[in-house]
Amino acid sequence: MSVHVEGACLCGSVKVSAELPDRSVEVCHCTRCRQWVGGPYISTQGVKGFTLEGEEHVRTYRSSDHAERGFCGSCGSALFFHFLPSGGRSFMAGLFPALDTSEDCAEEIFIDEKPGYYSLEGDRPRKTGAECLALLRKALDA
């Protein structure tokens, strides 16, 4: 059963409406994500469709050969990670108040880059950077 969520950036200039497969989130601990948002990137997974209102405020930064990151040009709120080869996006979970009660963290990625000053409790798949990059190469070859 899919879940419809709506949310906005900090200043409200960009509004996001998305269809998600469920209420779970994913956590990325890679250095780039932590530099971008100041901590782990906690995001939606498997976005089935989305709309952006206020798209003229969205700015993007090409952070690698396979990805760009979107943010609000007015308030600076991080909005999304865009995986260019597939067109898939994940959105910051904090944009969506409906996810505030979610208790399901589906997986953690780049666990080997996670600093020691925080940890997340619970059992879930935890993938290293090498495992994630192997999946990336497989997706790029497909």
Residue 142: the pLDDT is 65
Q: What is the pLDDT of residues 74-96, one digit of tens each?
A: 999 999 999 888 888 999 999 99
Residue 115: the pLDDT is 96
Question: 3-141, which class in CATH?
Answer: mainly beta
Residue 107: the pLDDT is 94
For tokens 């798949």, the residue is 125
Describe the strand order of the beta sheet including 25-28 as a list of residue ranges.
Answer: 41-44, 25-28, 105-109, 126-127
- Give the mean pLDDT of the chain: 92
Residue 102: the pLDDT is 67
Residue 26: the pLDDT is 94
pTM tops 0.75, yes or no: yes
Given a cut of 50, the residues of the chain with pLDDT beneath it are none
For tokens 């899919």, the residue is 2
